[in-house]
Amino acid sequence: MSLSNAVMKTPVAWTPVCAESDLVARSGVVVWHEGAQVALFYVPGAETEVHALDNHDPVSGANVIGRGLIGSLKGELVVASPLYKQHFCLRDGRCLEDDEQALRVWPVRVNEGRVEIGA
């Protein structure tokens, strides 16, 4: 798996959130990190295999992003919100249908069999 999905300019404090074996290919797993629900997506074979985004859907207000479907749209890997079907880019969190909506993207890596999120 790729080690990280974010280029960091300052040192990152990494927090383990789950085992690598807890990830499900092309699906979401939700973890609790720093008072927020974070959706982890594992996309085997992609340039960046593990992505971490807020689980909170800004359009519906529900914590459902981790249940969304993974796909490709306009050349981007995306997750589709299961409620209103907006597509959020796994790389940067932006909504492809609405420039005013976005998900927070967390730095993430796999280290010695543990998935870690950076703060």
Joined together, the tokens standing for residue 44 give 């085997």
The pLDDT of residue 51: 98
Type of residue found at 81: S
Q: Give pLDDT tens digits for 46-65.
A: 999 999 999 999 999 999 99
Q: Are the CB atoms for 55 and 63 separated by under 8 Å?
A: yes
Above 60 in pLDDT, residue 3?
Answer: no
The pLDDT of residue 119: 86
In this prediction the pTM is: 0.89
Q: Percent of the chain beyond pLDDT 70?
A: 91
Residue 10: Cβ-neighbour burial (10 angstroms; 0-12, 13-18, 19+)? exposed
The band of 2, judged by pLDDT with boundaries at 50, 70 and 90, is very low
Residue ranges per domain, the chain?
30-118
Once rounded to an integer, what is the mean pLDDT over residues 70-79? 96
Architecture of domain 30-118 in this structure = 3-layer Sandwich (2.102)
